[in-house]
Amino acid sequence: GESVGLHLPTLSVQEGDNSIINCAYSNSASDYFIWYKQESGKGPQFIIDIRSNMDKRQGQRVTVLLNKTVKHLSLQIAATQPGDSAVYFCAENIRGYQKVTFGTGTKLQVIP
């Protein structure tokens, strides 16, 4: 979605709990989705991706769910740790095109 003028929503989670970060994507033609983690003052880092022929993909402590019907992505982080505190962005892309569109982002705060 459009991020101009919008400040990041914040999700506060207790250490050890699971986190769920949501993202609504804009283009029904998008077929590739990526989650990035951005720590303060640094560039975004790749976490996990998913293609539109899948509903779910798991990584280490992270799971991405894709619901194409409602154009929704979620990132689940298991057993959230203080090092998970960061801003998380989803991004979408159409295969064969180079424009990558980012969502608004969510700030995750982990409470020790």
Partner 1 sequence: DGGITQSPKYLFRKEGQNVTLSCEQNLNHDAMYWYRQDPGQGLRLIYYSQIVNDFQKGDIAEGYSVSREKKESFPLTVTSAQKNPTAFYLCASRGEAVLNTEAFFGQGTRLTVV
**Interaction site with partner 1 (CB under 8 A):** 3-8, 31-32, 34, 36, 41-46, 49, 51, 89, 91, 93, 95-105
Q: Using an 8 Å Cβ cutoff, are 23 and 90 in contact?
A: yes
Q: Which is nearer to partner 1, 44 or 108 (CB)?
A: 44
Task: For the CB of residue 54, give the shortest distance to partner 1 in the complex, in Å.
Answer: 12
CB of 79 to partner 1, least distance (A): 24
Instruction: Output phi, psi for 8, to 5 deg.
Output: -65, 135
Name which of 80, 99, 89 is nearest 29 in CA terms.
99
Q: Distance between CA 92 and CA 19 in Å, rounded?
A: 21
Q: What is the DSSP letter of 25?
A: -
Burial classification of residue 99, based on how many CB atoms lie within 10 Å of its CB (0-12 exposed, 13-18 middle, 19 or more buried): exposed
Nearer to partner 1, 31 or 65 (CB): 31
Least distance in angstroms from the C-beta of 48 to partner 1 = 9
Q: Which is nearer to partner 1, 5 or 112 (CB)?
A: 5
Comparing CB distances to partner 1, the nearer of 41 and 83 is 41
